[in-house]
Amino acid sequence: MKRKIGRYSKYLRPITITFDLIVLVFLAITLLPSAFQHFHFYLYLGLSWIVISLITKFYQVYRFTKLIQIAQKVIAQFFIFSIILLTFNGLFSYSSNYKILAIYLGATSSVIIFVKYLIFYLLKVFRKYYKGNLRKIVVVGDDELTQQFVAFVTTNPDYGYALKHHFSLEQYSTRKITTYCCENKIDEIYLSLEDTSTEQIADFINYVDNNLKLLKFLPSHRDRLSANIKVDYYGVIPVMPARITPLDDPLNQFIKRVFDLTFSFFVIVLIMSWLTPLLAILIKLESKGPVFFKQKRHGLDYEEFDCYKFRSMFVNENADIEEAIKNDPRITRVGAFMRRTSLDEMPQFFNVLIGNMSVVGPRPHMLNFTEKYAVKVNKFKARHFIKPGITGMAQTHGYRGEIEKDSDIINRIKYDLFYMESWSLLLDLKIIYLTIKNAIKGEKKAY
């Protein structure tokens, strides 16, 4: 099951960013004097552009974004970028011909802005006439704002919202509505908060958390009076997301990714470069089989990926279906040492470089383990809204290793959700410190 969000596609944004960077560098090579033709200048252009785009939210363009909002992002992006470029030129005195710089800025802005609006309009045409890039939605509620929202999505097909059903809570129970959503693979639920009980809201939140769906609220009159809520506007209709986490912010995503890349790079170069051949020899001397162990796990958006570890067991048929237990006869002597010190997890730093894991996050589980507890434990799937980690908050608070009783997995999920909703770089650093401390000290359930 995949959780999709209301963007055009997971590939479109990186493709657009790459195109814009190519335009910036190509036109710099073509239009600017030879004094600018250095790798460090191109790097400066690229990094500056990306950092500015995170500040201006230049690439946060959604199907409900208005043209005036895109224009505001464009003006802010190129205004700051112009200052950055002129500052660089002023510091290094590369050129006194500001006309050349103005031509470069004019050319880059013309190409990038044209392509940005072109993509925006082509997607509208694609949704309206070819019925592509659609989001299947249901609307729940029967107040005036809900009626306006229904009218909006049905009369604006270019937004790409395929309304499958309009429910009234007076006629349908939350269970019937959520059952319909499951059977019809609904992507998003729009729930009116007018005359909706706290219990009903909780039912819908539990449903979307356990099924990786999106829930958005159509606010009541009293909600619209609050200035402390995030509101998007579909036309003139206010819509509030059900959950906002720190890692929803692209700037925080960028900070976490840069940290992951930097940290994993130094671990691979400074530690794994000499540790890997040493452990490989010890693993091979004790038992036959590969040095590395590869296992399918569920990651971000519940997508499967290959998780890498140093092999710590004798080769056996049950490695992918049975977790290790205390005094497990499958574990080798070298494997026991690696598990005790968490060295068997080190190859996952390659997973971090690839991008399907983070240094810190909810620990990924075996596929059968995930399927078992996704049904049994409330909000289990909600942990898949962010990337899994090599280490996590639950693991540093006594909930690593074998699940001996239901309370173990329940508490693990509580820590994972707390981490997701409270993320900060300092919290990541604290968890890494506690992980290293626990590895040195040794843990009871490290087997």
Q: What is the pLDDT of residues 361-404, one digit of tens each?
A: 999 988 888 877 877 777 888 888 899 999 999 888 887 766 77
Average pLDDT over residues 127-133: 89
Q: Are 341 and 441 in contact (CB under 8 A)?
A: no
Average pLDDT over residues 214-231: 69
Q: What integer pLDDT is reported at residue 105 of this predicted model?
A: 95
Q: How many CB atoms lie within 10 A of CB 18?
A: 10
**φ, ψ (nearest 5 deg) of residue 156:** -130, 70
Gap between the Cα atoms of 129 and 152, Å rounded: 17
E strand or H helix that includes residue 161:
strand 161-167
Cα separation values, 363 from 297, 382, 413, 416, Å:
10, 13, 10, 9
Return the residue matching tokens 């399907």.
356
Q: What is the pLDDT of residues 333-368, one digit of tens each?
A: 998 889 888 899 999 999 999 999 999 999 998 888
Which tokens is 370 given? 């995930």
State whether residue 353 is helix, strand or coil.
Answer: helix
Domains of the chain: 12-130 (no CATH), 135-244 (3.40.50.720), 250-441 (no CATH)
Q: What integer pLDDT is reported at residue 221 of this predicted model?
A: 61
Does residue 445 have a pLDDT over 80?
A: no
Average pLDDT over residues 25-29: 95
